[in-house]
Structure 1
C-alpha cells in the first residue's frame, strides 16, 4: 500500500530537479474537474474509499513527502504519474486541506462507511426503548462531533469550551427529538416509529454543525481570490458554507435511514424472517453500509469543496472593503466550505 513500490527509488535517494515544469501535474487540485457533479463524485469516491483508513502512518507520511517533493521538482527519478495520483489520494484523504495536518482516523471521511454503518445500524435496530435511544444517539453524536471538528474550516479556530457546548447541545437536541418523536408515535403505524432515528439525526445535524463552526458564523470565513490570495472575511459566505455542509450530511444518511426501515418492515411480515431475530441487526448494518458506500461520496459531491460567491452578494461592509483594496479586479471570492 506504500506510495512507492519496492522496485522504485526510495525518497532518500538523490533527487532529480526537472528543467521543464510546463507539463507537470497540479497536485494541489483534485484529479477530476470539480465544476461538475460527476467530476466531484469521482474525486470523493477516491478519497472516501474506506480502504484509505487502513494505510499506516508511515505510508501516509511517505505520500505527503512525495507530494511535497514533486511540488519542489525534487521527486525521485522514475516517479510515475500513477504513483503521484496514489500519493495525492492518500494525502487528500488523511491531511486537512487548510492546515496540512494529519486528521484523526475516526474523523476522516474515509471512515464514514465503517463508522456510520455500525452506528446507524444500531440506531435503526434498537429504537423502541428509551435507554436504547439515549445510548445510540449519544454514540452517534459523539461520532458526529468528532467528524464535524475534524472536517471544519480550520482557518477559524474553535475553543475547547465551544466544542463542549456544541457536543452537549447536539446530543441534547438528538435525545429530545428522538424521545419526543417516540412518544408521538405510540399509536402511529410501526413504520413511523422506525423513522424516528432519522428525525433525531437530522435535528442534531442542524444544531451540531452551526455550533461547531460558530466562529465562522460570528466572525466570518476566510475569503480568497482565484489565485488563492486571502482578501477578507464574510459571515454570509460562512452561512452558505455551513448550510451546504448540513444539507450534505442529512442527505448522506437519509436514504439508508428512510428506505431501510421500509425494507425491514416488509421483511418482518414473513414468519421465517421474524424467527432469525439474531440476524436483524447484522443485516441492517450490512444494508446501511451498502447505502453509505454510494451516499458518502454522492453527498460530499452535492456542492464544490472550493465554494464561491459573487462579491455583489457579500455584506455591504465587505463589498466596500474589497472595492477600496482591489477596485473591480475581484468579482467573485472563494472559500473552503468544509465537509
Structure 2
C-alpha cells in the first residue's frame, strides 16, 4: 500500500491538527529535496513498521515529512520541485502581488493573470489523481485550453473598458478594484474543475481502510474535485480580498503618500502575510484522504464491498 495514502487514512485528524501538520509540510526546504533523499525516506518507511511504537522515532518522523511533502499519494511518484506544496506560496505569492497592482494596460495585466492560471493548472494536474495513459494527450490539450481561457476571461473586463473607452471613475473602480476579486476566485474554481475533469468523468480509485482498491468511482471523483475547487477559490478569493482591504487602508495614510517605496513594501508584506496564512488553511480545510459512504457510490461499486465507508485521494 502507498505509504502516504496509508498515513492519511490512519490519521483521522481535526482541522487544527491538519493545519499544524500542513505548516510542517510547507517548509520551503521540502521543495528542494532531491530524488535520492526522497527515495531513501520512502525505503525507510517501507522497511519500518508504521505502528505508534515507531512514530516517535525522529528518523521515521523526518521520513514521513519528506515523503508526504514530495510524493503524490495516488500515483506514488515524486512531485516535480516547482509543483510541490512547499513551492506553492513562494511562486503564487509574488504573482498575486503583481495581480493587485494598478495595471497601465492589457500587457501589464496579462503577465500575472497568465502565470497564475498556468501554475494553478499544472499544480492541480500534478497533485491530482492518476491520469490513465490513454488520456494523457487529451489532458495536455485540456490543460492548455484551461490556461488560455482563464487568462482571456481574467483580462476581458479591462479589455472591454479600454476597447470601448469606458473611463468613468465609477466604472474604472469596479473594473480595476472590485471585479477582479470575485473573478479570480471564480476562475480559480473553474481552473480546477476543468483541468481535473477526467476525475469525475472517468472516476477515481476508492479503497477500504486497508488500502484495498474497490473500484473507480465518478461520485468520488466529483467530490474530490469539488472540494479542491472550493479550497482553491477560498485561497485566492480571500487572499485578494483581504490584501485589497489592507491596501485601501494603507493608501489613506499620509506617510505612505510621502514615501511611495514604503507603500509598495507594505503592500507586498501584507499580500505575502495573507497568502502565507491562507495557503495552509486552504490545503487542509478538507482532509487529504476523503471519506465517502458506500451508499453514495455507484451501484456496481456498492455490490463489491460490505464496507460502510470508503476512502479516496482528494489531491491539492
TM range (shorter): 0.7 to 0.9
Deviation at 1:168, TM superposition (A): 2.6
Corresponding residue for residue 309 of structure 1 = 292
Deviation at 1:256, TM superposition (A): 2.1
Deviation at 1:201, TM superposition (A): 2.3
Give, in whole Å, the separation in 2 of the partners of 1:258 and 1:306.
29
Unaligned 5+ segments in structure 2 are: none
1:50 aligns with 2:33: no
Give, in whole Å, the separation in 1 of the partners of 2:183 and 2:81.
25
**1:171-320 alignment runs, 5 A limit:** 171-180=148-157, 183=161, 187-188=169-170, 190=173, 193-314=176-297, 318-320=298-300
Give the 3 Å change call, closer, same or farther, for CA 180–296 of structure 1 in structure 2.
Answer: same
Contact 1:31 1:43 in 2 (8 A): no
Higher relative contact order (CA 8 A, sep 6+): 2
Give the 3 Å change call, closer, same or farther, for CA 195–90 of structure 1 in structure 2.
Answer: farther
Deviation at 1:291, TM superposition (A): 1.7
Contact 1:170 1:204 in 2 (8 A): no
Give, in whole Å, the separation in 2 of the partners of 1:334 and 1:186.
53
Kindly report structure 1 stretches of 4+ aligned residues shifted beyond 6 Å: none
Contact 1:125 1:284 in 2 (8 A): no
Give, in whole Å, the separation in 2 of the partners of 1:126 and 1:82.
48
Give, in whole Å, the separation in 2 of the partners of 1:258 and 1:154.
33
Give the 3 Å change call, closer, same or farther, for CA 131–154 of structure 1 in structure 2.
Answer: same
Q: Is the partner of 1:233 in helix, strand or coil?
A: strand
Corresponding residue for residue 332 of structure 1 = 309
1:143 aligns with 2:119: yes
Corresponding residue for residue 98 of structure 2 = 122
Give the 3 Å change call, closer, same or farther, for CA 214–268 of structure 1 in structure 2.
Answer: same
After superposition, the C-alpha distances for 1:267-305 in whole angstroms (9 at most, x for unaligned) are 112343134334544433332221222211111111111
Q: Is the partner of 2:23 in helix, strand or coil?
A: helix
Give the 3 Å change call, closer, same or farther, for CA 178–196 of structure 1 in structure 2.
Answer: farther
Give, in whole Å, the separation in 2 of the partners of 1:151 and 1:130.
31
Q: How many residue pairs are counted as aligned between the two chains?
A: 305
Give the 3 Å change call, closer, same or farther, for CA 320–147 of structure 1 in structure 2.
Answer: closer
Q: Based on CA coordinates, which of the two structures has the bigger radius of gyration? A: 1
> Normalized against structure 1, the TM-score is what?
0.79
The alignment's C-alpha RMSD in Å is 3.1
Compare the two structures and name the one with the higher helix fraction: 2
Give the 3 Å change call, closer, same or farther, for CA 278–219 of structure 1 in structure 2.
Answer: same
Give, in whole Å, the separation in 2 of the partners of 1:32 and 1:269.
51
1:166 aligns with 2:149: no
